[in-house]
Amino acid sequence: MSTVVVGYVPKPEGEAALDKAIEEARLRGSDLVVVHSYRAHGDEGEPDLADARAKLDASGVGYDLRQLVRGLEASEDLVSVAASSQADLIVIGLRRRTPVGKLILGSNAQRVLLDAHCPVLAVKA
């Protein structure tokens, strides 16, 4: 069975990526792997992903939600999970940038685009 992998953060760009990934998984008849990668700082607990879980449960798509707390960049985690899952597609969200910021794509997004073994779909919030 095919797999769609999505990078998720609880922000507008993460929500847009999750919505599109659910849509793509339905269209392809694929399972969905949701990757939330973050670095823990001090006494911070795990981010609350209850809204994302509720959306995924309601979608009817089979999914695996992975929270990765490591020292790697989010892009490295995402590409690694996509490779190990033999993903057919990676979905990422992009945030709005200023005209000058548009000259330089976000570093995580750029790394995913350059390092991914499969197609990458980038969506805006």
Q: Are 13 and 97 in contact (CB under 8 A)?
A: no
pLDDT at 69: 82
Is 79 exposed, middle or buried (CB count within 10 Å of its CB: 0-12, 13-18, 19+)? buried
Cα separation, 123 vs 76, in Å, equals 19
Nearest in space to 9 (alpha carbons), one of 51, 46, 37: 37
What pLDDT shows up at residue 47?
73
Higher pLDDT, 90 or 44: 90
C-beta separation of 111 from 77 below 8 A: no
For 68-96, write each residue's pLDDT tens digit.
887 678 899 999 999 999 999 999 998 87
Give per-residue pLDDT as tens, 95-125. Answer: 876 655 555 556 788 889 999 999 999 999 8
The closest alpha carbon to 46, from 54, 56, 59, 37, belongs to 37
pLDDT over 70 at 44, yes or no: no
Share of the chain above pLDDT 70, in %: 86
Average of per-residue pLDDT values in the chain: 87
pLDDT at 45 over 70: no
